Structure 1
Amino acid sequence: MSKKTEKVFFILTWIGQGSSYLSPYAYGVLHRMHHAFADTEKDPHSPIYDKNLFYMMFRTKKIFTDILYSRTEVEKRFTRGVPEWKSFDLFASSWVSRIGWGLVYVAFYVAFADHILLWLLLPVQFLLAPVHGVIINWFAHKYGYRNFDVSDTSKNLLPVDFLMMGESYHNNHHSMGHRPNFGVKWWEIDPTYLIIKILNTVGIIKLRKVKS
């Protein structure tokens, strides 16, 4: 996509993730590192080298913030071509932004939550992006089925992925990291790929053909 469109999607990410905003740049770099070092000691998130998911989340957070605030030197192969808007990332990742979104959520619940049990959803809303990340990076390396024999523990967490928008086809993704469609079997429908196809059709993004 164009540089201007990239910035639009940075803003949409901020609106969509709110208080749990994760820098697309830092996450993109982290994701490349995960694929390059999957289930080794250099993997930024692996259930093999962490005692539990909280240890994994803490270690991932440290590596992530080191990338975000340029506190560590990252190999060029992990940063090349990854969209970056540093000034916006620093604002969207700030406590001012996170607390601001938190207050918006609380105000929304005050206005519309008509049962006390609905308030139990509020902590999840505060941390929705990390919660999604830990579901994939912990559980999809422990539970599920495999279509491909890869060198790591990645698995397809859900046979029909209506919760993770196709991302739970993690074994498929690790086998073919370049492929935008994470589904392989006829029943593995990747909703995000359908959105990608629409964005490509209307010219917002351009899918590139690569050799398998």
Structure 2
Amino acid sequence: MAILIFFVVHWYLSLFVQTFFLHRYAAHKMFTMNPFWEKTFYLLTYIAQGSSFLSPRAYAVLHRMHHAFSDTERDPHSPHFSNNAFTMMWKTKEIYNNVLKHRVEPERRFDGDYPVWPVIEKVGDSYYSRIGWGVAYVLFYIAFATQWWMFLLLPIHFLMGPVHGAIVNWSGHKYGYQNFDNNDKSRNSLFFDFLTGGELFQNNHHKLPNRVNFGVKWWEFDPTWPAIWTLDKLRVIKLKEPKPAKQKVRVAA
């Protein structure tokens, strides 16, 4: 029981920081927060993702590229230019590392206006940190696992951040339905997206990239939206006024 609880907590805590801090804040700046809360969520992102910590700066740059080049050969993680999810993840890793290590300079339109904390960036990307978190996960499993098959969950812990990204980008651009014609292959994969915190409403998000609530239809539930609404009411963050956008709903033939 302890292992399953640990897995679920790690899955959803890592998922929350990815969709809330990395995606909706770092990449899109859908809301603002003061320096104290920015560093708090930055640190929480490092703790939650652990061995798979993703740099907010590199994440923001790649995600902005993804929107600009959605489902073209210049998209850093389109499933339509990879044979499978693993080759897509490897391609994304190479582009991510090039941006992270400053081997390439991103276009000016993709750069800037994201949170930066050099100390956490350096620590989070170090082998000492990644291996240290991995060892901690293994020791926890050795102490509490009651069945051999539980150890099969460990690789997901090691790569939690990239696993979440792979699920969203592979499924969200291949399977599901479309509310909008975005001139790409984005899809809404689930009606009630508890698995990825609303991230699988990709078609909605690509049409309305600054909309904080990824659900559009009344029956599309984005579970991260109530958390963001609550944080806004508690004045931890401040939501921005949404910009009006023309909505062209796809009409079934």
Aligned to 2:236: 204
Aligned to 1:17: 49
Aligned to 1:129: 161
Alignment of 1:40-119 (within 5 A): 40-119=72-151
CA distance in 1, matches of 2:128, 2:212: 34
Task: Calculate the aligned-residue CA RMSD, in Å.
Answer: 1.2
TM-score, normalised on structure 1?
Answer: 0.96
179, 201, 205: which one pairs with 1:173? 205
157, 176, 192: which one pairs with 2:189? 157
Aligned to 1:138: 170
CA distance in 2, matches of 1:71, 1:37: 20
Tell me by how many angstroms 1:54 deviates: 2.0
Q: Note the alpha carbon deviations across 1:77-131, whole angstroms, 9 max, x for none.
A: 2123111123311210111111110111111111111121211111111111111
Is the aligned partner of 1:190 residue 2:228?
no
TM-score, normalised on structure 2?
Answer: 0.81
Which amino acid is 2:134 matched to? G
CA distance in 1, matches of 2:119, 2:46: 13
Tell me by how many angstroms 1:198 deviates: 1.1
CA distance in 2, matches of 1:14, 1:208: 26
CA distance in 1, matches of 2:212, 2:82: 29
Aligned to 1:35: 67
Moved over 4 A (4+): none
Indicate conservation of the 8 Å contact 2:171/2:200, yes or no.
no
Give secondary structure in 1 for the equivalent of 2:79.
coil
Tell me by how many angstroms 1:52 deviates: 2.2
CA distance in 1, matches of 2:242, 2:202: 20
- In structure 2, the gaps of 5 or more residues are 1-32, 245-253
Tell me by how many angstroms 1:133 deviates: 0.5
- In structure 1, the gaps of 5 or more residues are none
- Greater RCO (CA < 8 Å, at least 6 residues apart): 2
CA distance in 1, matches of 2:69, 2:144: 45
Tell me by how many angstroms 1:60 deviates: 0.7
Tell me by how many angstroms 1:161 deviates: 0.8
Identity %: 54
